[in-house]
Amino acid sequence: MIPVQGFEHQAVAVLGLGRSGLSAAHALRAGGATPVGWDDNPRARERALDEGIEIRDLTRAGAFDDVTCLVVSPGIPHLYPGPNPVVAAAWAAGVPVDNDIGLFFRSFAAGFDAYDSPPRVIAVTGSNGKSTTAALIHHLLHEAGRDSELAGNIGRGVLDIEMPGEGGAVVLELSSYQTDLARALTPDIAVFTNLTPDHLDRHGGMGGYFAAKRRLFAEGGPDRAIIGVDEIEGQYLANQIAMGPGDDRLIRVSAARKLVGPGWQVYARKGFLTEWRKGRQVASIDLRGVAGLPGAHNHQNACAAYAVLRAMGVAPKVIEQGLHSYPGLPHRSQRVAEAGGVAYVNDSKATNVDSALKALLAFERVRWICGGLEKEGGLDGLAPGLGHVVKAYVIGREAAGFAMQLPGVEAEVCTTMAQAVAAAMAEAEPGDVVLLAPAAASFDQYDNFEQRGEDFIACVMAGLRDG
């Protein structure tokens, strides 16, 4: 645990008593503060009470009279589409609002005097690929013999981790919800993967969404920034950071084009990763045989992770070995089975059009299981990948309407996962990939994307067993 510093003998309110809220409450108490928690869910309040956390109704008048700070969990709106009433009450009382990420950064350096080489913080943000990139960095560090902790939007709560050992690292996946509110953001290395429309209601549009991501760099002041430049937002951000063409505090990353010049670049083309620095090629790695990272979108993730390891002084050959041993993340381009020349891939995390498109482009012949709770913007963005689709098997309560938005694609309305998997397995031929990449949220049929992915895996395994 990372004890929170700076609130000794003070009351700190915690709004939202899920994973991050409970973690913050315990870390505050470990640092000498008195946490008082509130959650609209009675069961969450009961659990917090069982764990010794004082419960206080933060909606009542006077609730903030003795409170020094309010810590808000990521899922609770603090600005758009409107502030939570408790957040608004804190503003009115003049009480600063923060989150667990801000508490972590204000507290992490305590005790660094015991280290000759203090641990470094690597923060990864972006729209797509940040989970894979963070997990891959964590994996590569371990393979290189470095102590590493993985936390934030993936793995453990950021305040639950143990301090890494000498020369180690903390790898944080940070969502826009987390970067938007944190009052302290001071990573040693910061990574921006890409930007595509998502969470727009929460940020008041694309400008607010990008601004939330940009805070990690503009206000965080990392020693080194690794920026994906395949979208204009990344190009803009890279230009703002660099002090000149040869400024190697910035590493540009691309999976769409060759990057050359006097600076430091890492790019992937035709399945090969290339490091280019000071006007010459430094290293090259063939990514085509890396089973855990299929497709150009994962090659971008590999480039970003490679850049982080190089920034930490790890040799290219060591990184290459680690890439080949990376197993992949559950529900993200996860190869779950292969039989009769047919591969079965679970990308349930592809909940938006952009991530689903990247999954489609990773394979030549796709029997595509898609559908669910459609997000804003429609499905037009899938068009470049539809030529890879042999047939679509559409699930979800609005399956028929979803299928009608796939021009030129043979589509079967299956509604349920079991029906879709059975139909795809019956028709698949050697060389096909049965791919779950829904391009939609899961909440019409499942509690979350993980549950949807597990259902896909269970249906595939049952079909292979019974077949």
What integer best gives the mean pLDDT of the chain? 94
**DSSP3 helix / strand / coil % (the chain, rounded to 5):** 35, 25, 40
Number of domains in the chain: 3
Closest C-alpha among 257, 259, 316, 240 to residue 284: 316
Same domain for 366 and 390:
yes
Positions of E strands within 351-418: 366-370, 389-395, 411-415
Same domain for 108 and 94:
no
**Tell me, what DSSP letter sits at residue 40?**
S
Give the pLDDT confidence score for residue 156 in this predicted structure. Answer: 83
130 is in an annotated binding site: yes
Location of structure tokens 């994962």: 298
Q: Provide the residue count of the chain.
A: 467
Give the pLDDT confidence score for residue 169 in this predicted structure. Answer: 95
Positions of E strands within 120-223: 120-125, 148-152, 169-173, 189-192
- Asked if pLDDT for residue 467 goes beyond 90, the answer is no
Averaged over 134-161, what is the pLDDT? 93
**Tell me, what DSSP letter sits at residue 77?**
-
Model confidence at 311, pLDDT cuts 50, 70, 90, reads: very high
Amino acid at 447: D
Long-range contacts of 264-268 (CB under 8 A, 24+ apart): 264/307, 266/303, 266/304, 266/306, 266/307, 266/310, 267/303, 268/296, 268/299, 268/300, 268/302, 268/303
Q: What is the CATH number of the domain that holds 136?
A: 3.40.1190.10
Give the pLDDT confidence score for residue 49 in this predicted structure. Answer: 96
Of 211 and 196, more confident: 211
Give the pLDDT confidence score for residue 17 in this predicted structure. Answer: 95
127 is in an annotated binding site: yes
8 Å CB contact between 398 and 444: yes
448 is in an annotated binding site: no
Give the pLDDT confidence score for residue 198 in this predicted structure. Answer: 78
**Which of 40, 75, 98 marks a domain boundary?**
98
**Which of 42, 69, 98 marks a domain boundary?**
98
Give the pLDDT confidence score for residue 201 in this predicted structure. Answer: 87
In three-state secondary structure terms, 441 is strand
Give the pLDDT confidence score for residue 22 in this predicted structure. Answer: 95
Encode pLDDT of 317-372 as tens digits. Answer: 999 999 999 988 888 888 899 999 999 999 999 998 988 998 999 899 999 999 99
Averaged over 432-450, what is the pLDDT? 94
Give the pLDDT confidence score for residue 339 in this predicted structure. Answer: 95
State how far the alpha carbon of 248 is from the alpha carbons of 169, 217, 234, in Å: 21, 15, 16
Q: What is the pTM of this model?
A: 0.84
Encode pLDDT of 15-36 as tens digits. Answer: 999 989 999 999 999 999 999 9
- Percentage of the chain beyond pLDDT 70 is 100
Give the pLDDT confidence score for residue 310 in this predicted structure. Answer: 97
Same domain for 338 and 302:
no
Same domain for 67 and 146:
no
23 is in an annotated binding site: no
- Asked if pLDDT for residue 235 goes beyond 80, the answer is yes
Encode pLDDT of 248-282 as tens digits. Answer: 999 999 999 999 889 999 999 999 999 999 999 99
Closest C-alpha among 311, 304, 336, 306 to residue 321: 306
- Asked if pLDDT for residue 111 goes beyond 80, the answer is no
141 assigned to some structural domain = yes
- Percentage of the chain beyond pLDDT 90 is 83
73 is in an annotated binding site: no
Count of alpha carbons within 13 Å of 59, Cβ hemisphere only? 6
- The C-alpha atoms of residue 444 and residue 143 are separated, in whole angstroms, by 40
Closest C-alpha among 250, 272, 271, 252 to residue 260: 252
Q: What is the CATH number of the domain that holds 384?
A: 3.90.190.20
5 assigned to some structural domain = no
Same domain for 155 and 240:
yes
Residue 265 structural domain:
103-324
- Asked if pLDDT for residue 55 goes beyond 80, the answer is yes
Same domain for 312 and 344:
no
Closest C-alpha among 291, 332, 302 to residue 437: 332
Centre a 10 Å sphere on the Cβ of residue 205 and count the other Cβ atoms it contains. 12
Give the pLDDT confidence score for residue 333 in this predicted structure. Answer: 86
Of 131 and 199, more confident: 131
Same domain for 64 and 32:
yes
Location of structure tokens 């499905």: 379
- The C-alpha atoms of residue 460 and residue 464 are separated, in whole angstroms, by 6
Encode pLDDT of 60-110 as tens digits. Answer: 999 999 999 999 998 899 999 999 999 999 999 999 999 999 999 999 988
Same domain for 317 and 244:
yes
**Which of 283, 306, 324 marks a domain boundary?**
324
Give the pLDDT confidence score for residue 330 in this predicted structure. Answer: 86
**Tell me, what DSSP letter sits at residue 53?**
P
Centre a 10 Å sphere on the Cβ of residue 171 and count the other Cβ atoms it contains. 31
444 assigned to some structural domain = yes
- The C-alpha atoms of residue 8 and residue 11 are separated, in whole angstroms, by 9
Same domain for 229 and 375:
no
317 is in an annotated binding site: no
385 is in an annotated binding site: no
Give the pLDDT confidence score for residue 418 in this predicted structure. Answer: 97
In three-state secondary structure terms, 240 is helix
Give the pLDDT confidence score for residue 128 in this predicted structure. Answer: 86
Give the pLDDT confidence score for residue 296 in this predicted structure. Answer: 84
